[in-house]
Chains A and B, each alone.
Chain A
Amino acid sequence: MGAEVVTISTDTQFVHLAWQRDEKLLENVKYPMGADPTGNVSRMFGVYDEETGLALRGTFIINPEGVILNSEVNYYNMGRNIDELMRKFKANLHLSKHSNEGCPAKWKDEGDRTLKPSAKLVGKVYEALQ
């Protein structure tokens, strides 16, 4: 969808090469696999675990201007939901083109109803969502 996806762990790029070649589930991986053995980038985003030397499961969406718009961090044993990531990314794309709108809680995809914040909407959000 036009985003640069980069995965990052504290493994070196050599381990990434070996893993991508070895694991069938990774056969179709097309994105760059980032290597952060010093933990510098992981620390920048607050996901570096000093005790283990590993990165937590963090996802960050950064706009073309370099601003972080979303952050989600899970502890080791909980995977992330790609559908949710797609939802957030699509919402970000929509909002970047319609800066006077808001994506309400149930927004899932392009075409879903959005809100146009204004004085008229104050106290009338229920009606706006019908």
Chain B
Amino acid sequence: MTREEICCGLRVGQQVPDFEIDTYEPTKGDFGKFSLKKAKKAGKWTILFFYPADFTFV
């Protein structure tokens, strides 16, 4: 990752580096992995929805 990414985060218009993240998949009832590379390969749009913590409100 470049220094710019570490201090400011990615900006609109920038290319997101391929990344993977561990997941829980409710439809399977099991753990999995989300890979941006795979979503791109499948021609899919990706919407990332960050939030502070489970078991909280809003």
Contacts and interface: CB of A to CB of B under 8 A. Distances in A.
Interface of A: 2-20, 22-23, 26, 29-36, 41-47, 52, 54-71, 76-80, 85, 89, 92-93
Given A44-B17, A54-B52, A62-B36, A5 B22 contact: no
B25 to A, nearest CB: 5
B51 A66 contact: no
Contact of B36 (A47, A59, A66, A80): A66
Contacts of A78: 58
Nearest to A85: B47
Contacts of A14: 24
A32 B24 contact: yes
